[in-house]
Amino acid sequence: MLLRSYPPAKNSKEKYDNLQLSVQKAKEAVILDSESGLAWYNLGNAHLQLYILTFETEPHVKTALVSYEKALKYGETYNPDVHFNKAQLQIFAEMWSEAFNSLLLSAKFDPESNFAKERSEAVADFCKRASLLCKNKGKMRPKRLAELLKKCEKDSKESIDLVVVGHLTHFNYIPFAFVGVDNSSEAHLVTVYNMVQGQGPLIGDIVTIPSLTMKSTKTNLSLSTEDTAQYSSIRVERPSKLAFNKKVRGASLEAKLFCRTENLE
């Protein structure tokens, strides 16, 4: 329920106001029937749209994920769109294993559509390449990497220094992604959101990430009995505090957000 009967919004504020109203109406529907899978699905969609418009991970992502879980519990188990939309949020949250499984379910319940299947294959490919890049520490020669690591500060509670050893192209995925090696020679996938296009670090650069700006996770995605993608990752929501080769880039590195919204079925 995204107020489809309303005229198209003229600007971002009007879009935001309409979506806030959609959330309110969806909440009212859930209150009227808390066991309606469709009502929970609509609430999840409204929060998903607000996330896309504002890019505020909290609380919209968590609320939407909970709403989709409720939708699945109350009658929408075989709805491929619930699984697909849920997967989009899991991708945004870098919950790769969960996103992969949600996409497989979406494809299972809508076999005539290749979209979810292709998306699951793209997620698997991204994770496999991230795992391989981390395992091989990019394509940098060991001697060159050792020289650069000497310039890195030891990890502290305040920040971490990483030598960029490779970039990771991806499937219409939001952040800038690269693989960096820390002072202990451990490789990490780093995803940087909201960064100006073309302003990312180059291979061989040393990137300093303040601890307060990052979230660390580990991915373990089983693709088959013999194929698993494993790697450590660091997520940076706001790049303005990043330093490249000991120089803080500041606000010029941070992109302004212009988002387009569409109705979800």
Nearest to 166 by CA among 128, 138, 126, 199: 138
Multiple choice CATH, 12-124, 1.10.579.10, 1.10.10.10, 1.25.40.10, 3.30.2320.50: 1.25.40.10
pTM for the whole structure: 0.84
Q: Residue 177: its pLDDT value, please?
A: 94
Q: Please tell me the chain's helix, strand, coil percentages from 3-state DSSP, rounded to the nearest 5.
A: 45, 20, 35
CA distances (Å), origin 231, targets 179, 187, 209, 213: 10, 8, 18, 20
3-class DSSP assignment, residue 189 = strand
Q: Which residue has the higher pLDDT, 245 or 50?
A: 245
Which residues in the chain are classed under CATH 1.25.40.10?
12-124
Nearest to 265 by CA among 9, 138, 76, 96: 76
Q: Is the peptide bond before 59 cis (omega within 30 degrees of 0)?
A: yes
**Per-residue model confidence as pLDDT tens digits over 181-234:** 999 999 999 999 888 888 999 999 999 999 877 788 888 888 776 788 999 999
**Per-residue model confidence as pLDDT tens digits over 111-166:** 999 999 999 999 999 999 999 999 999 989 999 999 999 999 877 788 999 999 99
Q: Which residue has the higher pLDDT, 143 or 258?
A: 143
Average pLDDT over residues 248-262: 68
**Per-residue model confidence as pLDDT tens digits over 61-83:** 899 999 999 999 999 999 999 99
Please state, in angstroms and rounded to a whole number, the distance separating the CA atoms of residues 191 and 257.
17
Given a cut of 70, whether residue 171 has pLDDT beyond it is yes
Longest Cα–Cα distance of the chain, Å, equals: 66
Which residues in the chain are classed under CATH 2.40.50.550?
136-253
Task: Give ∠ CA 47-52-55 in degrees, rounded to 5.
Answer: 100
CATH 2.40.50.550 fits 136-253, yes or no: yes
Q: Which residue has the higher pLDDT, 210 or 2?
A: 210
Q: Where do we find the tokens 């849920």?
A: 86
Q: Residue 176: its pLDDT value, please?
A: 92
Could you say which DSSP state residue 47 is in? H
